Amino acid sequence: MKRIIIQYGGTGDLALKKLYPAYEHLMEKGDAFEVIALGRRFSTRDEFLSEIIRKDAPSSFTDHLDYLYYDMSGNNAVSILTDRLKALCGESDEVEFIYYLALQPSLYEIAIAQIQQVDNQLDCICFLTKKIVVEKPFGFDLESARRYNDILEKAFTDEEIFRIDHYLGKEFMQNLLLMRFHNDIIRRIWDNRTIESIEIIFDETHGVDQRLGFYEKIGVVRDTIQNHIMQIITYLTMSEPATLTPKDIAVEKEKVLRAISPIEEFHMGRYESLGANSGHIVHTPTYAAFKLFVNTYYFTGIPIYVRTGKMQQEAKSLIYIKFKNATKQVMHDDSIAENAVIITIHPELTIDISMNLKMPNTSWKSKPVRFRFNQSETFGANTPEAYEQIVEKILQGDKSLFPTMQEITESWRIVEPMLKDNLPVEVYPIRTLPRFAESLAKENGFTWFD
């Protein structure tokens, strides 16, 4: 069967930085598929290749990469795309079209209407199957997510729809499940009898002025919290699935999300130079900190503290699971540190278990010591990028790394209070933590794991 990826947004940042490298690596490994990039930036394929694709790219990739100048608003857009796809199909008896929408959700309706027309015209030339891929954020809020899903499901079945959250393609996410469910020692301590609190920190050093037009409509809640953060929380707190299959994992993740109330204790800010070169004031939040609870039997009562945003001093992505410290109370010794699991995502993937051991030449004085797993040291540095794994699963028709629509709608429900207009937004200097992040910690009696 011949596979053709129709890449909408073919000259955008996502395609350039993530998708084309993923396509190249998969083709080098022997995966057979064609890619046609759609865009308005270049008139010809030669211009597209010379400006977008690096000059030393192997022919195993470039020979299978086409380009089409495509304006969705044009009167003859459908016929232009139909003719090019017909040529790419050639004499093949069986063809699969994979429509990859690297577009803003507001463009889905026109894109899908045109896709339906293309499919109707080409369905007679061969046995045609199809898939559609949509990027996060899926919608702008709960209402729009449902509306866009209705549009998708008029043209595609749920099995044909791949909703992306690329964090599910990262090794650390998959390791979370195996660490929890393939190790009895972890399984037995991973609940509210032993865990005191969880911190999730996602600090980024870069700003958004390079893509302000996009980010101004999105903000930190839609950019990371509704998708990445909520998916991490499900992996941290879901019950053990019957099997590690997509359907069984989704069942447990949906239970977690349904057990989270809409976020009420939150704060948001924006860095002070946001939009300085745009000629107008931009109020879009670029940082947020909040607290929530997962009200399931095994995790109720464990506070989960989250902070995430742009223009920080240091790039830092980590999860800190703090265990209750009964020993300190029993031994009447405040110097005894808590046990913890520290999962560092950036700058490199590590998992540390912090335990107390005796310091040499002391009278039973203990010190916290970390036992570390390092992904690159153990398995090598060349593990696949998230998007490479994501695309490979799409080609295989495997939905294990894709959130369900139920997960997406529940996530929108949870963050809905953070999307209201006219919420207070603190202005913070670049490279500094907003004051409200420290206030949240002080009010709740904890210290951010920095």
Q: What is the pLDDT of residues 387-408, one digit of tens each?
A: 999 999 999 999 989 999 999 9
Residue 47 CB neighbour total at 10 angstroms: 13
Instruction: Tell the CATH topology of 168-444.
Output: Dihydrodipicolinate Reductase; domain 2 (3.30.360)
Band (pLDDT 50/70/90 cuts) for residue 241 is very high
| CATH code matching the domain that covers 2-135, chosen among 3.40.50.720, 3.90.850.10, 3.40.309.10, 1.10.3080.10 | 3.40.50.720
Q: What is the pLDDT of residues 269-289, one digit of tens each?
A: 999 999 888 777 788 999 999
Across residues 358-378, what is the average pLDDT? 90
Partnered with residue 343 across adjacent β-strands are 319, 351
Q: What is the pLDDT of residues 189-218, one digit of tens each?
A: 999 999 999 999 999 999 998 788 888 889
Cα(first)–Cα(last) distance of the chain, in Å? 51
Three-class SS of residue 449? coil
Give the residue among 347, 372, 367 at the shortest CA–CA distance from 357: 367
- Interior/surface letters 125-134, b for 16+ CB within 10 angstroms, e for the rest: ebeeebbbbb
Q: Which residue has the tokens 């800190």?
A: 320
CA distance 289 to 24: 38
Q: What is the pLDDT of residues 143-193, one digit of tens each?
A: 999 999 999 998 999 999 999 999 998 888 888 999 999 999 999 999 999
Q: What is the pLDDT of residues 81-131, one digit of tens each?
A: 999 999 999 888 899 999 999 988 888 889 999 999 998 888 777 788 999
Q: What is the pLDDT of residues 338-365, one digit of tens each?
A: 999 999 988 888 999 999 999 998 888 8
CA distance 284 to 295: 31
The reported pLDDT for the residue numbered 382 is 62
pLDDT at residue 381 tops 70: no
∠386-388-393 over CA atoms, to 5°? 95
Q: Give the distance, in angstroms, between the CA of residue 151 and the centroid of all CA atoms in the same chain.
A: 23
The reported pLDDT for the residue numbered 429 is 96
CA distance 137 to 300: 28
* Ordered strands of the 350-358 beta sheet: 366-374, 350-358, 340-346, 316-323, 195-203, 303-309, 287-293, 265-271, 425-428
The reported pLDDT for the residue numbered 389 is 94
CA distance 57 to 65: 11
Q: Which residue has the tokens 């998959």?
A: 174
Q: What is the mean pLDDT of the chain?
A: 93
Across residues 413-441, what is the average pLDDT? 96
pTM listed for this prediction: 0.93
Percent of the chain scoring above 90 in pLDDT: 78
Task: Give me 20's structure tokens.
Answer: 């084309």
Helix, strand, coil % (nearest 5) of the chain? 40, 25, 35
Residue 93 CB neighbour total at 10 angstroms: 10
Domain boundaries, the chain: 2-135, 168-444
Q: What is the pLDDT of residues 286-341, one digit of tens each?
A: 999 999 999 999 999 999 999 999 999 999 999 999 999 999 889 888 889 999 99
The reported pLDDT for the residue numbered 329 is 86
